[in-house]
Amino acid sequence: MLAARIFARLEKCLQIRLPLATLFQAPTIEGLAAAILALLHEAKRAGYLTGPALQAVSRDRDLPLSFAQQRLWFLDQLKPNSAIYNLSDALRLSGPLNIEALQEALTAMVARHEVLRTTFAVVDGVPVQVISRDRRTELRTCDLSRMSACERERQVQRLLQEEADRPFNLSTDLMLRASLLKLEPEEHILLLVMHHIASDGWSRGVLFRELAVLYEAFSNGKPSPLPALPIQYADFASWQRQWLQGEVLESQLSYWKQQLNGAPHLLELPTDRPRPAAQSYRGGQQSFLLSEALSGALKELSRQEGVTLFMTLLAAFKVLLHRYTGQDDIVVGSPIASRSRVETEGLIGFFVNDLVLRTDLSGDPTFREVLGGVRETALGAYAHQDLPFEKLVEELQPKRELAYHPLFQVVFALQNFPTQALRLSGLTMSPREIENDTAKFDLSLTVVERREGLRAGLEYSSDLFDEATIKRMATHFQRLVEGIVADPDQRLSKLPLLTPAERCQLLVEWNDTKKDYPHDRGIHQLFEAQVERSPGSVAVTLGDQELTYRELNARANQLAHYLKKHGVNPDVLVGLCVERSLEMVVGLLGILKAGGAYLPLDPDYPKERLAFMLEDARVSVLLTEQRFWKQLPGQEAQVICLDSDWQHIAQESNGSVHSGAGADSLAYVMYTSGSTGRPKGLEVCHRGVLRLLFGIDYVELDSRQSILQMAPISFDASTFELWGALLHGARCVLFPDRVPTVTTLGMALRKHRISILWLTASLYNMVIDEAPEILSGVRQLLIGGEALSLSHVRRGLDLLPSTQIINGYGPTESTTFTCCYRIPRRLAESVRSVPIGRPIGNTEVYLLDRDLQLVPIGVSGELFIGGAGLVRGYLNRPELTAEKFIPNPFSDASGARLYETGDLARYLPDGNIEFLGRLDHQVKIRGFRIELGEIEAVLGQHPNVRNTVVATWEPVPGHKQLIAYVVPLQESSPTPTELRGFLQEKIPDYLIPSAFLFLKSLPLTPNGKIDRRALPAPDRSKELTSTFTEPRNEVERQLVGIWEEVLAVNGIGTRDNFFDLGGHSLLAARIFARLEKCLQIRLPLATLFQAPTIEGLAAVIRNRTRSTSWRSLVAIQPAGNRSPIFAVPGVGGNVLGYNDLARLMGPEQPFYGLQSRGLDGTEKPHTSIEDIAAAFLKEIREVQ
């Protein structure tokens, strides 16, 4: 600030304008004189000559607003009656006060400074300054002297706050107003309020200084001793408009355009609440002191580095923001007095300008390196400070939002302009604090030099932040500064941020999860112990079939002996390709008892994926059933069919088997999506499963429970469902259908009195939307697999008073669950997402930044997992295992590891964890973990696809979908149907996008990366390949409404195909639930194969209402010249699962399914196998 005043004097005396950096290059008079002589010779070429003289202009014409005034005037028009730009000062006056002299001095100040009596009008659509004649300044007085001390203090605070918050009317009011509160005969409080459009921080010093001079003169009966002002603020505004154009403007703009090219629009600070659509400007203030010793050390560091204290503090603040946001490109605003001309030093007015200071913190530099960069940036900004911020915004045209300030949202200021305390003759004065309840920006740090040290204040938007968050931030800033002065050569990542107490809380207190559990046993051993305790209890049920613990143990022992003879020993992988059945459970348990590990193989997976898994896992033994054997791709494993070979297996002993497997042995391998297009197998040990089920408090597991097993065994939720029941003596109920509907799920829950249920978030949402009452008997409901829909959770809490809802989070790498959150009955309105809770027993969680440093509470970091639940690694992928499983830097235990999840999360103040999203592009949909890169890699193999990006879309809260953006080759553009069919041959259905959008090119960021935020929103109506046909009757109109709501697609025609619109089994279930509710008609899901269009479905409904005759035969694919195939489903009788099989057999193969009578809820089911067979044969002969 002093340097700026010196250079202003030089400009006036020598008629040359020097860049402020000159003083840093030549900090002595000798050096500065030499620099001036050199610059005088090249002044014109270098562009340093001063601008036109600042002179008074005529008042007989319209007077323009300065650029800064114009912005505040516009904001006042946008949000009238706001006090956000009020500048208030309250002072306590002790001693005899001459009120008349004070009144006269205030009136003289308004007369002296035109800007204080300037109002603002609009002429021909343009705002102009209107300078009124001299007006007496109102001094409002209020006598509080007769009140008690307590009452008086309450009234003082109320009156001060009311007056400070009273808006100005810019078209009529004086820009200065004063209030005087009388406390006692010689005790007063004076409140001065100015509007920022006529004042700034420097101006307040001018006001105090001149008011004191005038008060003293008038108190002694003397006239004003102040000389007349040669110019006024209106003259400066006119001069600014005249000077800032042409080459001067272009020179200034060129610098700032280059400086801010590609700068981020928003500094994404971690907030306590979502950003509102428009700023309310409500705020708060948190003050703190940097001690005298610390302040001295900062000044000494500044001196050594040849920088100002402002630069050092700004650099430190930027490091804090960098550590809080994880962003490298940090943009901060900073006010500058902008009084570079001597004539302006004695004026009151709005001269202050905002500089946009951008710093690159990438590469983990040292603080000393950052400080050097901040120095250069600041000097460059000072040299180009004459471009008003408002003009910069006008020229750059950044994206404008009511929600945040353009170009920067965080401000730093060091107040070192000349301060002048108001000293009135004969009075003792002291400042009186006024509570600040406004904030112009997201966050502002203001530092003021005081005798006791540097006094800092954080002003914050209370729309975004809680007071406790800002208090922590203040503490972290102090810790950071202490680290900086101790060693400025430390890398930014190593500078301290947390207090010792915070580190202890994050490392120890919130990871104190050690519990007793059977850490030295195997799954099969604990099952056998349970058999001893309850041999006659029912272990597993499917429909009307069941096995007791004794029976299940005996069958599994027989299978284990048989497997042993086929070479199954510890860590030998055995493939298991069966549907959900009693045999499936026998198979799983038999493999473990033999010492082996099971590899789940879903029969519905494409052959290509199954072939990869079998080859990659090097399976030597394969358990399956006769009907799946020939469908499996060619492989060299020994094949054992649990149905046709059981007569041989049954010859084995049903006695115990010595497996040789223990806690560290492999239990199973589960394949998950891989980012390269290659699935990866995870090696899960017995210990991880047992830590999931014992020594826990997230769920109550005991022999009284009945647990529904509904997840595919290739999905790790099945681990909890199966072993959570069988290792605790509970009943494991196998769900009969492959795909649940609300109706079939409700029937199973009621029939078997299910007490513990796991649902994916998508399925939970569907149930809550369609029939929440079916969950009323469930006592413990675990949901997860992806982020929960807050609205659906709130509805569940309201509708299910007897159900404890639990949010379960965890990647397969940590054996099903890592964290769980038992959701309280009442979620606060401020909750914006359902927390994932805390780590379960014997599990550790660390939230770290990219440099593996702990992040503070509220700050996002990557979630790392440690503890007993970690898998061994990735099967046959040692490099990937080493990359994702790293040594635990916080543990002294030998071999302790951490798994790097790629999930973003943050700690809430109570220790619970909030999930924020993915660092990469992995997502979870309908419970499936999906690497978008895998889909992109496979889709990119299509010969007519040039580029592709896959993203998620959530047209309806809680219902995510995959969207593929495709850039086709110019020669040929594939259709959505063609791309969908191509993918169906290579990846599972849950990986297939719901929609395909074709683009000429993919949008890119300035750095050349794909700009996912710029991808257009899906318009699925553009995908429809058939000619649009409108509904012709009421039934079709109702169906269109239901389909558009469930599929989140507009403009559906009556001949558009359900599956081509992105429909899948879960959405089909929702549509049929809507049909049952709206039309009071229950149809089997297989109807969609017979009638996949609205037109066809409406016809089925009409015929249904006329006739109740049942058809078992479902033409899944009626066309083709070959002999037809007839498929009979298993328990449940639903043919929906045969869709993929029919498609893979080609268009020339007719394919029919046979559904069991009674699935519609109206027909009475057959009661014998003979009756079923007779009915099936009758309909088969009709098409042969």
What pLDDT does residue 398 have? 83
Strands 283-290 and 453-461, bridge-based pairing: antiparallel
Instruction: From residue 607, give the alpha-carbon distance in Å to each of 2, 626, 635, 641, 1126.
Output: 77, 17, 12, 19, 21
Provide the 8-state DSSP code for 289. Answer: E
Mean pLDDT by 10 residues, the chain (1184 residues): 60 59 66 63 47 85 93 86 92 94 96 96 89 89 94 94 94 96 96 96 92 95 95 96 90 94 91 85 94 96 95 98 95 91 92 96 97 96 92 84 88 76 80 87 95 93 96 98 97 96 97 96 97 97 96 98 96 96 97 97 89 93 91 84 94 94 96 80 97 97 97 93 98 93 94 96 88 96 89 93 97 96 91 93 97 96 97 96 96 95 95 89 69 81 86 75 87 81 78 86 66 76 51 86 85 80 73 80 75 85 63 73 81 63 75 74 71 83 70
Give yes or no for a contact between 637 and 1015, defined as CB atoms under 8 angstroms apart. no
Q: Which residues is 866 bridged to in the sheet? A: 844
d(CA 307, CA 305): 6
Strand partners for 229:
none
- Number of Cβ within 10 Å of residue 1161's Cβ equals 12
Q: What is the reported pLDDT for 1012?
A: 79
CB atoms within 10 A of CB 94: 14
Its sign, for the CA torsion 241, 242, 247, 251, is negative
Give the side-chain half-sphere CA count within 13 A for 560.
30
pLDDT of residue 484: 98
pTM: 0.79
The one-letter amino acid code at 1120 reads G
pLDDT of residue 419: 53
* AA letter at 476: H
Closest CA to 439 of 308, 286, 324: 286
Return the DSSP state at 55: -
DSSP labels, 132-150: PPP-PPPEEEEE-TTS-HH
pLDDT value, residue 19: 62
CA separation for the pair 1021, 1164 (Å, rounded): 41
Rounded to whole angstroms, what are the CA distances from 264 to 493, 790, 1012?
Answer: 22, 30, 15
How large is the angle between the packed helices 523-533 and 582-593, nearest 10 degrees?
Answer: 110
Q: What is the Cα gyration radius of the chain?
A: 38
Q: How far apart are CA 691 and CA 516, in angstroms?
A: 9
Would you tell me how many other CB atoms lie within 10 Å of the CB of residue 165?
17
What dihedral do alpha carbons 925, 931, 936, 942 form, nearest 10°?
-80
The 3-state secondary structure of 881-943 reads HHHHEEECCCCCCCCCEEEEEEEEEEECCCCCEEEEEECCCEEEECCEEEEHHHHHHHHCCCC
Structural domains in the chain? Answer: 2-46 (no CATH), 63-236 (3.30.559.10), 254-421+440-500 (3.30.559.30), 523-836 (3.40.50.12780), 921-1018 (3.30.300.30), 1110-1184 (no CATH)
- Residue 793's identity, in one-letter code, is V
- Work out whether strand 176-184 and strand 428-432 pair parallel, antiparallel, or are unpaired: unpaired
Token pair 């108190």 in the structure block, residue: 219
User: Quick one: pLDDT at residue 16?
Assistant: 58
Please tell me the distance from the alpha carbon of residue 488 to that of residue 21, in angstroms, as a whole number: 23
The tokens for 312 are 């050092």
Six-digit token string for 349: 């007015």
> Distance of CA 811 to CAs 808, 903, 930, 1044, Å?
10, 10, 12, 33
Q: Look at the chain and count its residues.
A: 1184
DSSP state of 820: E
Helix (H, G, I), strand (E, B) or coil at 841: coil
Residues linked to residue 195 through DSSP beta bridges, in sequence order: 86
Amino acid, single-letter form, for residue 673: S
**Per-residue model confidence (pLDDT) at position 415:** 85
